Amino acid sequence: MDNGISYLNIYLHIFQTQKDILFGKMVIKMTEIILDTDIGSDCDDMMALSWLIYAQKSGKVKINAISVSHKTDFAYGALSALFDAFDTELPSVGQIRNGLEEFKDNYCQKVAEKFPGGRYTPEDSVRILRRALVQTNDKAILCGIGPMTNIASLLKSVPDGISPLDGRRLLLEKCSKIVLMAGNFTEDKNGVREPEWNVKCDISAAKLIMEECDNEIVILPYELGIDMITGEKLTKELGDTHPLTYAFICFNGEARGRHSWDPATVLYAVQGCGDYFQESEPGVIRIGEQGESFFTPQRNGKHKVLSLKLLNGESETAAKKRISEYMDKCVEDMIDKKIGGTVIV
């Protein structure tokens, strides 16, 4: 070129504000995410974690920390096995100290023993969550895919050596939004609205978050994730040779897939609505005494509920199949080593 600037220099100039080239790899400042999970209760947590690892390896997000909302002794071992299998460093892990009784562990011990790695007693979840928020560069997305005990404890937390802010103010300052798998907003033919599992496990925590948290909260409800089956092809192909598929076998009792409540929640937390979801108008979510969930539109409300985005007149069944196939393909490509090359900073 006449001015002596090469095409490469133009490219670097255009993208320099957000991207740098380092040793042939792209370095990108990522959106940070903090995940709260009840790993061990249902195998869809393992698929959600696998997809989140994919999102980090492909440059979409940085996993800042993971907190565990129940007391199994093998949660860290299962997490370590999964991250090791995907050749990814495990972030800071916290685990609940007080609150709910121990859940039935459907696979963490089996996964940790079959794929042995590091043994470690995680720090208290609230401390991990507070530290993760403080260390976030800008604002993190807090994503919960289990009972809300840890998040409620974070909301109630007091100033400490980690931050002079209480939990409510810390969330406002360092959390852009809270994304939760929670709630069932449908009624059966008799007009009965069944409580959703994550809400029912700790109703008081769910009520506290919906009533007292000042952050925007987006809910992926039970009815959206059911019949969105992921993991079936992988589980049949890999059997018990991979922590992800072994967890599916342990939970299901055979090599088959699972509904995708948690993976779909993580998908939205990372990518937003895209071609998959649509947000309701703002409103207020109320949790009933038995754990029922009610949504009332309200102009200045802080809550939204997700539903499917239907493309080209497709049915809900077709939309769920499209979304599940996308998530499966992402994880399959990661296992086949078709993604990578992004350095997270």
What is the structure's pLDDT at 99?
60
What is the structure's pLDDT at 69?
94
Residue 18 has pLDDT above 50, yes or no: no
pLDDT in tens, 99-123: 666 578 999 999 999 999 766 778 9
Q: What residues does 303 pair with on adjacent strands?
A: 217, 283
Would you put residue 239 in left (φ > 0), alpha (ψ -120 to 50) or beta?
A: left
- CA separation (Å) from 118 to 38, 54, 61, 90, 122? 20, 22, 25, 10, 11
Residue 340: pLDDT band with limits 50, 70, 90 = low
Q: Which residue has the tokens 């506290």?
A: 208
Higher-confidence residue: 254 or 16? 254
pLDDT in tens, 144-173: 999 999 999 999 999 999 999 999 999 999
What is the structure's pLDDT at 3?
47
**% pLDDT > 90, the chain:** 81
Bridging pattern class, strands 277-279 and 303-308: antiparallel
Q: How far is CA 206 from the centre of its chain?
A: 17
Residue 71 has pLDDT above 90, yes or no: no
**% pLDDT > 70, the chain:** 88
The stretch 237-261 carries a mean pLDDT of 96
Q: Kindly state the greatest CA–CA separation across the chain.
A: 77
Q: Which residue has the tokens 């949660």?
A: 75
The stretch 192-220 carries a mean pLDDT of 96
Considering the segment(s) 31-336 as one domain, its CATH architecture is Alpha-Beta Complex (3.90)
What is the structure's pLDDT at 100?
63
Q: How far is CA 264 from the centre of its chain?
A: 8
At 232, list the tokens: 């079936």
Residue 1 has pLDDT above 60, yes or no: no
How far apart are the C-alpha atoms of 122 and 174, rounded to whole Å?
23
**Which of 41-55, 183-197, 207-221, 294-308 has the least mean pLDDT?**
183-197
How far apart are the C-alpha atoms of 169 and 214, rounded to whole Å?
9
Residue 318: pLDDT band with limits 50, 70, 90 = very high
Higher-confidence residue: 91 or 10? 91
Residue 14 has pLDDT above 70, yes or no: no
What is the structure's pLDDT at 119?
67
- Residue 324 burial by Cβ neighbours in a 10 Å radius (0-12, 13-18, 19+): buried
At 92, list the tokens: 């800071």
pTM of the model: 0.89
Q: What residues does 62 pair with on adjacent strands?
A: 32
Neighbours of 311 (CB within 10 A): 11
pLDDT in tens, 260-317: 999 999 999 999 999 999 999 999 999 999 999 999 999 999 999 999 999 999 999 9
pLDDT in tens, 117-135: 766 778 999 999 999 999 9
- Residue 212 burial by Cβ neighbours in a 10 Å radius (0-12, 13-18, 19+): exposed
Of 262, 103, 99, 100, the C-alpha closest to 179 is: 262
Residue 28: pLDDT band with limits 50, 70, 90 = low
Residue 5 has pLDDT above 80, yes or no: no
pLDDT averaged over the chain?
89
The stretch 45-71 carries a mean pLDDT of 96
